[in-house]
C-alpha cells in the first residue's frame, strides 16, 4: 500500500509547490518582482517541510499510527530540496545579479571568484544570512546520512543522535525568517509557535520516559537484592 | 447572578488535579492547533496571489512636461499598481491593489495647522486651485532594494506651502496619512504605530524636485498608489513618499517619522538614497529595477545629487541616515 499508493502520492504532492512556481514564472503569474517571490516561496516551503518533518514523530505518538515514520525521510529530503533551491535562488538572483561588473563576461573565472567573495561577505556580515546558511548546513549531514546504508554504517544510536540536529534546523530557520521581515513578525511568529510546540512535545515525552524509568528503578533494585 | 466567595467553593468543585494535568490531552490539542495554524498560513499566503492592476481613471487635463523628468524606460502601469508598500491596505505588495479598490477619495479634506498663518481645512479642489499640473518622470528607489521609473503627475509642494504662509518658527513640515479603520483594513494590525507620519526639513520641502502627486500616467492617481494626494521626494527612499495625506503641520522640532519610530537603527529621518550607507541587514549599493534581472548600481541621492547635494553640506550622512 505504501509503495504503490500513499508514498508516490506524497512525493508528487511535495513536488507541487516547485511545479507551481515553474508554472507561475512561465505564465507570468507572480508579482511585479518575480525574483523576490521565487526567493521567498522556496524559503517558506523549506520551512514548511522542516515543520512537517518535525511533526511526524509527535503525530505518531498521539495517533499511534506508526506507519507515519515511513514518510519522514522523504519530507526531510524535501526540506533540504527546497532549502537548496532557496540558497541557489539567493546565489543567482541576489548575489550574482548584484555583482554589477562582469569584466570577463558572465561565465568567467573572475566572475565566479567575485561571486564566491560576494556570498562569503554576505554570510559573514549579515546575521540573518549567517543563520540561514547555518540552517542549510545543518541539513547537509542529515541528507548525506539519509540512506539505509549510512544508517547501517553509523549504527542506529549514533545515527539517531546525529539526526537530532534537525531540532537546530527548525529553530534556526525560524530565527532566519524572523530577522529578515521588515516590520510584521506575525508570520515568523506563527511558525515559531509551531516549531516550539513540536520541539516542546519531545521534551515532554522525554521527561515522561525519565519519570517512568525512575519509578521502575527501585523495583529492579529489590529484585536484585532478593536474589 | 450569584458570585461565590472563595470559602463557598467546595473542594469537590475544583477541577481534579489529575484531569487538569492530563498533559496528553493538552498536547493532542496543541498539535491540533499547530496543524490549524499551519493550514492557515498556507491559505493566507495563497489567497493574496490574485493581484489586480488598477482600472484606468479620469484623464487629467492641461498637464505640462517637465525638464526634471528622466528619459529612462518607464515601468508599466501594471507594475506600478500591483507592487505597492501601503501597509494601511495590508503588508503584502499586492494587497493594496485588492483592498484599496473601494477606497473613497472624494470628498477629501486636508487639515493645515501648526506654525502658519493660514490654518484650517482645505478640500482637495482648494489644494489644486491655481496649480499647473506637470508630468515628472522620477526614479523611485525603495529602501528594500527595488526601484521603478514612474511618470507622476503633480505640482511643487513649495506652491502649497506658500499658500499656508508658514511663520519663521516653521523649521519642519509634518504629514499624516488618513487613519480610517473602516476603509483601511491594514490598520487593524499593530505592525506600525498609526497614523503614518512623515516629515521634511523646510528647505527639502521647498525644493523644486519635491512634489505633491495627484496622478500617474496622465490619469488620476490610483488608490493603491496613495490617492488622492501623496508626496514624491525622488532623492529619498520610498517610505518618505507619504500617501493619502490628510494633515499638514508646520513644526519647530524634527518630526518622528513612522519608520524611524518602528526601527530607528534601520530607518532615519533623512532617508536619502545613499549607496555608501548600508541598511543593517542589506547593502544599499545596488538595486533591482522592477522588470530587470541584473541589478544596477544605486546612485548617490538616487541620481539627483546635482540638484540636492548642497542641502546637506557639512552634514554627516552616515549618522543622519
Q: For the segment B110-121, what is each residue's pLDDT rounded down to a tens digit? A: 999 999 999 999
Does the CB of A132 have a partner CB in chain B at under 8 Å? no
For residue B44, give how far its alpha carbon lies from the nearest alpha carbon of chain A (Å).
10
Residue B21: the pLDDT is: 44
Contact B93 A33 (CB under 8 A): yes
Peptide bond into B228 cis (omega under 30): yes
Residues of A in contact with B47 (CB under 8 A): none
Quick one: pLDDT band at residue A170, thresholds 50, 70, 90? very high
User: Residue B64, Cα to own-chain centre: how many angstroms?
Assistant: 27
Most B-contacting residue of A183, A187, A189, A211 (CB-CB within 10 A), to test interface: A183
Residue B25: the pLDDT is: 45
Contact B295 A62 (CB under 8 A): no
Contact A204 B23 (CB under 8 A): yes
Residue A23: the pLDDT is: 95
Residues of B in contact with A38 (CB under 8 A): none
For residue A201, give how far its alpha carbon lies from the nearest alpha carbon of chain B (Å).
7
Residues of B in contact with A191 (CB under 8 A): 41
Residue B51: the pLDDT is: 79
- Cα–Cα distance, A7 to B95 (Å, whole number): 37
Task: State the sign of the Cα–Cα–Cα–Cα dihedral A170, A173, A179, A183.
Answer: negative
Residue B320 in this model has a pLDDT that exceeds 60: yes
**Candidates 3.90.420.10, 3.20.20.70, 3.40.50.720, 3.90.850.10; correct CATH number of B51-261?**
3.90.420.10
Most B-contacting residue of A182, A185, A197, A200 (CB-CB within 10 A), to test interface: A182
Contact B41 A126 (CB under 8 A): no
Most B-contacting residue of A54, A98, A117 (CB-CB within 10 A), to test interface: A98
Question: B170-206: buried (b, 16+ CB within 10 Å) or exposed (e) per residue?
Answer: bebbbbbbbeeeebbebbeeebbebbbbbbbbbebbb
Among A212-221, B63-72, B195-204, the minimum mean pLDDT is found in A212-221
Grid cell listed for B188: 487593524
Residues of B in contact with A93 (CB under 8 A): 293
Residue A52 in this model has a pLDDT that exceeds 90: yes
- Cα–Cα distance, A37 to B55 (Å, whole number): 24
Question: B221-251: buried (b, 16+ CB within 10 Å) or exposed (e) per residue?
Answer: bbbbbbbbbbbbbbbbbbbbbbbbbbbbbbb
* CA nearest neighbour of B176 among B93, B234, B125, B114: B114
Q: Spell out the domain ranges in chain B.
A: 51-261
Does the CB of A184 have a partner CB in chain B at under 8 Å? yes
Chain B residue closest in CA terms to A202:
B27
Contact B263 A179 (CB under 8 A): no
Residue B7 in this model has a pLDDT that exceeds 70: no
Residue A198: the pLDDT is: 97
* Complex ipTM: 0.85
Quick one: pLDDT band at residue B47, thresholds 50, 70, 90? very low
SS3 A47: helix
- Cα–Cα distance, B267 to A151 (Å, whole number): 50
How confident is the model over B243-257, as a mean pLDDT?
A: 98
Grid cell listed for B90: 495590508
The continuous run of DSSP H or E covering B121 comes out as: strand B120-123
Query: Could you tell me what percent of chain B has a pLDDT over 90?
Result: 82
Residues of A in contact with B33 (CB under 8 A): 197
Contact B191 A190 (CB under 8 A): no
Residue B10: the pLDDT is: 55
Residue A55 in this model has a pLDDT that exceeds 90: yes
Higher-confidence position of B242 and B35: B242
SS3 B199: strand
pTM for the predicted model, two decimal places: 0.85
DSSP annotation of B160: H
Quick one: pLDDT band at residue A215, thresholds 50, 70, 90? confident
* CA nearest neighbour of B251 among B95, B114, B49: B114
User: Which pLDDT tens digit goes with each residue over B153-178?
Assistant: 999 999 999 999 999 999 999 999 99
Amino acid at each position: 500500500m505504501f509503495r504503490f499508493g500513499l508514498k508516490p502520492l506524497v512525493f508528487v504532492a511535495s513536488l507541487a509547490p516547485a511545479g507551481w512556481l515553474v508554472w507561475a514564472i512561465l505564465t507570468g503569474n507572480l508579482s511585479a518582482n518575480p525574483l523576490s517571490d521565487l526567493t521567498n516561496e522556496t524559503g517558506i516551503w523549506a520551512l514548511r517541510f522542516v515543520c512537517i518533518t518535525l511533526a511526524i514523530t509527535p503525530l505518531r505518538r498521539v495517533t499511534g499510527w506508526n506507519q507515519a515514520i515511513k514518510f519522514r525521510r522523504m519530507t526531510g529530503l524535501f526540506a533540504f530540496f527546497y532549502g537548496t533551491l532557496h540558497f541557489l535562488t539567493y546565489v543567482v538572483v541576489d548575489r550574482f545579479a548584484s555583482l554589477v561588473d562582469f569584466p570577463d563576461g558572465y561565465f568567467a573565472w573572475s566572475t565566479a571568484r567575485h561571486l564566491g567573495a560576494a556570498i562569503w561577505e554576505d554570510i559573514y556580515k549579515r546575521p540573518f544570512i549567517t543563520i540561514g546558511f547555518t540552517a542549510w548546513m545543518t541539513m547537509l549531514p542529515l541528507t548525506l546520512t539519509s540512506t539505509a546504508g549510512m544508517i547501517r554504517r553509523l549504527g542506529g544510536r549514533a545515527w539517531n543522535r546525529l539526526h537530532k540536529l534537525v531540532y537546530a534546523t527548525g529553530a534556526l530557520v525560524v530565527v532566519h525568517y524572523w530577522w529578515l521581515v521588515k516590520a510584521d513578525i506575525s508570520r515568523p511568529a506563527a511558525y515559531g509557535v509551531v516549531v516550539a510546540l513540536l520541539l516542546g512535545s519531545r521534551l515532554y515525552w522525554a521527561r515522561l520516559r525519565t519519570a517512568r524509568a525512575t519509578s521502575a528503578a527501585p523495583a529492579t533494585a529489590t529484585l536484585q537484592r532478593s536474589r | 447572578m450569584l458570585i461565590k466567595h472563595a470559602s463557598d467553593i467546595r473542594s469537590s468543585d475544583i477541577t481534579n488535579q489529575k484531569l487538569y494535568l492530563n498533559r496528553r490531552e493538552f498536547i493532542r490539542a496543541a498539535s491540533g492547533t499547530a496543524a490549524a495554524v499551519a493550514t492557515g498560513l498556507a491559505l493566507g499566503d495563497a489567497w493574496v496571489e490574485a493581484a489586480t492592476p488598477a482600472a484606468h481613471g479620469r484623464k487629467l487635463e492641461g498637464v505640462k512636461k517637465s525638464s526634471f523628468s528622466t528619459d529612462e524606460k518607464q515601468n508599466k502601469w501594471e507594475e506600478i499598481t500591483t507592487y505597492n508598500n501601503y501597509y494601511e491596505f495590508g503588508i503584502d505588495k499586492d494587497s493594496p491593489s485588492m483592498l484599496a479598490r473601494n477606497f473613497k477619495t472624494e470628498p477629501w479634506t486636508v487639515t493645515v495647522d501648526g506654525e502658519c498663518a493660514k490654518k484650517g481645512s482645505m478640500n482637495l479642489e482648494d489644494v489644486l486651485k491655481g496649480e499647473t499640473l506637470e508630468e515628472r518622470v522620477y526614479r523611485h528607489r525603495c529602501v528594500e532594494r527595488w526601484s521603478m521609473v514612474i511618470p507622476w503627475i503633480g505640482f511643487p509642494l513649495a506652491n502649497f506651502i506658500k499658500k499656508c504662509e508658514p511663520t519663521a518658527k516653521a523649521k519642519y513640515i509634518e504629514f499624516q496619512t488618513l487613519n480610517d479603520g473602516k476603509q483601511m483594513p491594514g490598520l487593524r494590525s499593530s505592525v506600525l504605530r498609526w497614523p503614518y507620519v512623515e516629515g521634511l526639513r523646510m528647505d527639502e520641502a521647498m525644493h523644486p524636485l519635491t512634489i505633491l502627486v495627484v496622478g500617474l500616467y496622465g490619469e488620476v492617481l490610483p488608490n493603491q498608489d496613495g490617492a488622492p494626494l501623496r508626496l514624491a521626494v525622488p532623492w529619498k527612499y520610498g517610505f518618505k513618499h507619504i500617501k493619502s495625506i490628510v494633515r499638514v503641520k508646520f513644526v519647530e522640532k524634527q518630526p518622528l517619522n513612522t519608520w524611524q519610530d518602528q526601527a530607528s537603527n534601520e530607518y532615519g529621518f533623512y532617508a536619502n538614497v545613499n549607496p555608501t550607507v548600508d541598511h543593517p541587514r542589506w547593502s544599499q549599493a545596488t538595486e533591482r529595477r522592477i522588470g530587470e534581472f541584473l541589478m544596477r548600481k544605486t546612485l548617490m541621492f538616487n541620481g539627483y545629487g546635482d540638484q540636492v547635494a548642497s542641502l546637506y553640506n557639512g552634514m554627516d550622512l552616515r549618522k543622519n541616515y
